[in-house]
Amino acid sequence: MFRLRIITPEKVVLDKMAKFTEFRTVNGAMGTLQNRLPFFIALDIAELEIEQEDGHRIFFAVHGGIGEFFNNTFTILSDAAERPEDIDIERAKRSLERARVDIEEVEEVRRKELETKIQRALVRLKISTKKER
């Protein structure tokens, strides 16, 4: 069991004990249990899966950021972290469509921005359909 904290600029989204977390760094998928060696990771825009104390699994859509595991505390600092029920599916769909149209006719500089946008929308949509167990 270790302490898991998810902090965004707006608020502390989550602060509780967890058995296991699975996340995706910019290099690939990773997971951690308790008492791991300290690490720093750079998170991708992806889903985050948490197994709680009672074995119940919950999901978050995490929009980049970093994570630090130290002293049996896992701290995730991200621009945004959303639960499936917080996600506005219609809005995500609209934003995805718009970004896909825009990306066709945009120059190189703004492309990255739109790619991020698409990724965010995709993660949101993916998370919103997940069933929590």
Partner 1 sequence: MGRGIQLEIKRKIASVKSTMHMTRAMEMVATARLQLLKKNLRNFYEYEKALSSAFEKISSSIEDLDEVKNLIWRKVPSNAMIVVITGDMGLCGSYNDDIIEAAYDREKALGKTFDSFYVIGSKANKRMKFDGKKIRNSITNMYSKPFYDDAQSLSNELLRVYREGQIDCIEIIHGYPKSSLIQSITDEIFLPIKIDKKSQNASYDFEPSAEEMFEIIMPQYFGSKMYRILLESKISEQNARQNAMRNATENAKKLIDDLSLKYNKMRQFYITQEVIEITNSSEGLKGEE
Q: Is 41 in the site for partner 1 (CB under 8 A)?
A: yes
Measured between alpha carbons, how far apart are the two ends of the chain, in Å?
A: 19
Contact, 34 vs 70, CB < 8 A? no
Question: Which of 4, 8, 45, 128 is close enough to bind partner 1 by CB under 8 A?
Answer: 8
Question: Which of 19, 25, 57, 102 is close enough to bind partner 1 by CB under 8 A?
Answer: 25
Angle between helix 108-128 and helix 89-102 axes, rounded to 10 deg? 150
Piece of the chain touching partner 1 by CB under 8 A; list 26-34, 49-57, 84-92, 123-131: 26-34
Question: Which of 9, 55, 85, 107 is close enough to bind partner 1 by CB under 8 A?
Answer: 9
By CB under 8 A, the residues from 49 to 108 that bind partner 1 are 65-66, 68, 70, 75, 77, 79
Q: In angstroms, rounded to a whole number, what is the distance separating the alpha carbons of residues 79 and 77? A: 7
Question: Which of 33, 38, 94, 100 is close enough to bind partner 1 by CB under 8 A?
Answer: 38
List residues binding partner 1 (CB under 8 A). 5, 7-12, 25-27, 30, 37-42, 65-66, 68, 70, 75, 77, 79
